[in-house]
Amino acid sequence: MATGTMPSRSQVEEIVRQVVTARLAGTRSGPGALAVHASARHMHVSREDLDRLFGPGYELTVDRPLHQPGNFAAKETVTLIGPRSRLISNLRILGPLRSRTQVELAFTDAVSLGYDDVPIRLSGNLDGTPGALVMGPKGVVELPEGVIRAAMHAHMSPREAAHYGVRQGDLMKLRVTSDAPVTFERVHVRVGEDSRLDVHMDTDEANACGLVRAREIVLFK
């Protein structure tokens, strides 16, 4: 028997990680079928920080590919320590490497770690965000900043953006129809040549709207 109050957050994540693409094949919206993914907390890491955490020249190991081409969940995890010495172990690293290290948490995670506030930001927009201590098997990195709650966003190709009539940086909405239907009012459009139509939300958002039981999901202006 497991003990403690929340023995299996990982189970929650396992479920919400599941891609709902398949179940939503009936809600094709334009060029690509609309995929929606719930991102559990994770870290993107720079070359420099990976060297310090795992040793010089260390290369990430692909655990499984993600929906966006070239992106993957790595086998490697780290321990994250927040401002009040509380920690989250087994924080997953996502690849490939980035120019700056960035930690993405759900609000639940942030409070658990003792943060008073973690700003909602787009990926890469890290100025003025809180820091953290990160522990790897070979060393520790003290991040001066880089901890965010990721703003909900929709990856799409230029063709898909044209279909919706939107451009990079525009805002769209996402309506999730379930027993607890929700419209998310700010979904940031991120257009990339190699991108596939794909909305990313965090685990709090996925749990709130009952994503895994969704009957219909519509992305609209």
Single out the residue of 43, 74, 151, 189 in contact with its own copies (rule: CB under 8 A): 151
Nearer to its own copies, 4 or 128 (CB): 4
Nearer to its own copies, 66 or 87 (CB): 87
Nearer to its own copies, 160 or 202 (CB): 202
If one asks whether residue 60 binds its own copies (CB under 8 A), the answer comes out as: no
Q: Which of residues 92-131 bind its own copies (CB under 8 A)?
A: 106-108, 111-112, 114, 117, 119-120
Lookup: tokens for 186: 């700010």
Phi/psi for 52 (5° steps) reads -75, -35
What's the min distance (Å) between Cβ of 135 and its own copies?
12
Residue-wise DSSP of 90-110: EEEEEEEEESS-EEE--HHHH
Q: Is the dihedral of CA 151, 157, 162, 163 positive or negative?
A: negative
8 Å CB contact between 175 and 220: yes
What's the min distance (Å) between Cβ of 117 and its own copies?
7
Phi/psi for 182 (5° steps) reads -140, 140
- Segment (H or E) for 197: none
To 5 degrees, how large is the angle CA 134–CA 14–CA 93?
25
What's the min distance (Å) between Cβ of 205 and its own copies?
4
- Residues near its own copies (CB under 8 A): 1-12, 15, 85-90, 106-108, 111-112, 114, 117, 119-120, 149, 151-152, 175, 179-186, 203-205, 207-210, 213
